[in-house]
Amino acid sequence: MSKIIFSSPGKYVQGFGIIHELGELLKPMGDHGLLIADEIVWGIVAENCDQALKKAGLTYAYESFHGEASDLEIKRIVEAAVREQTQFVVGIGGGKTLDTAKAVADDLRQPIAIVPTVASTDAPCSALSVIYTEQGVFDSYRFYNKNPDLVFVDTQICVQAPLRLFASGIADGLATYVEALAVARTQSDSMVGANPSIAGMAIAKACADTLLTYGLSAYHAVAKRIVTPAVEAVIEANTLLSGLGFENAGLAGAHAIHNGFTAIKGDIHKLTHGEKVAYGTLVQMVLENRPDAELRQYLQLYQSIGMPTTLKALHLENEPYENLVKIGELAGSPGDTLGNLNPKLSADEVAQAILAVDQLSHALS
């Protein structure tokens, strides 16, 4: 008999200007924490984090994240935590920082708090990390026994991040329901190793509905660093709804094709996670033969928020066809999720769909 699993963080807290509350929420985890952030993010949040933890009577050690969610980086930070004798881990920043922090906490068997400073990915809430090589090539998904104990989102901080990252979060979130429907159709497993739950599918749909309804208005508000109800809704969708949706309903073609892009060298790797997922979502929709009206809706929203919808925007306009086939080959790797879309897809079919998205985008521009 089939089973369902629903996985979620212990607590999700979101609000405007709430960073001063962080210390009190960390107190149940211990007295001395390890805070992980890259140097740019730490320069933005250090003073507020320091005051919040001191106010709660907590001490901490800071460790700089060096940029890649790799096994070597995880090992380096774990060794620093052991030297400092920390009792809990706090990851502060974007997707790769947060994925690294989760891995560090897992190795240490310690509680983990996630503090995203951008609403750019659905990484914060999940019980997994995407692991890359030192060269930035997709390596594997790493799964954990539990989700983060706390996900803490200060929306005032998030809207200070570059607008491009906010738009990337919308694009990443829009993949959630598209992929969930594919997983349900093929009766594949979710990311927690069971059938997509009713709750997971409902959350994935709510994510899509929220982003399609409020995404453009929120994008224009964040362009002026304004927090409106639409912005709060979209940040929740980018972070919580997308995170719970992809984990409990599953991934399929969009993220597998994103991972497939790592088979190619060049300027495509200057793009964000969400920018590459946006194109991957369109490729999946072409492979599924989605109706023209639905493709047009997604294309037009992506174009209006600056997401890449052409090969030129991906920096792939000069790639030979055989390299597009390599993308399809890597996307179809046994450890990835393209099979949840269609286990019989060939690398050539993926390459053809990559070309088709480019043509469709030019036709609708």
State the pLDDT at residue 109.
98
Residue 65: name the closest of 115, 122, 9, 12 by CA: 115
Tokens 């690398």 belong to 347
Active-site residue (options: 172, 220, 358, 362): 172
Determine the pLDDT at residue 283. 98
Statement: residue 87 has pLDDT above 60: yes
Distance from first CA to last CA of the chain, Å, rounded? Answer: 49
Query: Is 106 a known active-site residue?
Result: no
Structural domains in the chain, CATH included, are 12-158 (3.40.50.1970), 163-364 (1.20.1090.10)
What integer pLDDT is reported at residue 31 of this predicted model?
97
20 is catalytic: no
Per annotation, catalytic residue among 99, 122, 154, 273: 273
Q: What does the pLDDT read at residue 121?
A: 83
Predicted local distance difference test score (pLDDT) of residue 1? 54
pTM score, whole prediction:
0.92
pLDDT, average across residues 19-27: 98
Distance from the Cα of residue 337 to its chain's centroid: 15
Is 214 a residue whose pLDDT tops 90?
yes
The one catalytic residue in 122, 149, 154, 255 is 255
Please give the average per-residue pLDDT across 159-168, as a whole number.
Answer: 96
Q: Give yes or no for a contact between 33 and 172, defined as CB atoms under 8 angstroms apart.
A: no
- pLDDT(3) > 70: yes
Q: Label residues 38-77 b or e (16+ Cβ within 10 Å = b).
A: beebbebbeeebeebbeebebebebbebeebbbbebbeeb
Rounded to whole angstroms, the Cα distance separating 365 from 355 reads 16
Q: What is the pLDDT of residue 137?
A: 84
246 pLDDT above the threshold of 60: yes
Check if 273 is active-site: yes
| Rounded distance between C-alpha atoms, residue 149 and residue 343, angstroms | 35
Location of structure tokens 């790639």: 319
Measure the CA dihedral 293/211/113/46, to 10°. 120
Decide if pLDDT at 42 tops 90.
yes
Catalytic residue check, 258: yes
Q: Can you tell me the mean pLDDT for 161-173?
A: 96
304-358 pLDDT, tens digit each: 999 999 999 999 999 999 999 999 999 999 989 999 999 999 999 999 999 999 9
- 65-69, 119-123, 138-142: range with highest mean pLDDT: 65-69
Residue 122: per-residue pLDDT: 84
Please, which pLDDT band fits residue 136 given cuts at 50, 70 and 90?
confident
User: What does the alpha-carbon distance between residue 241 and residue 238 come to, in Å, rounded to a whole number?
Assistant: 6
**Residue 258: Cβ within 10 Å count:** 28
Question: One of 106, 258, 336, 358 is an active-site residue; which one?
Answer: 258
Query: Which residues touch 3 (CB under 8 Å, ≥6 apart)?
Result: 194, 195
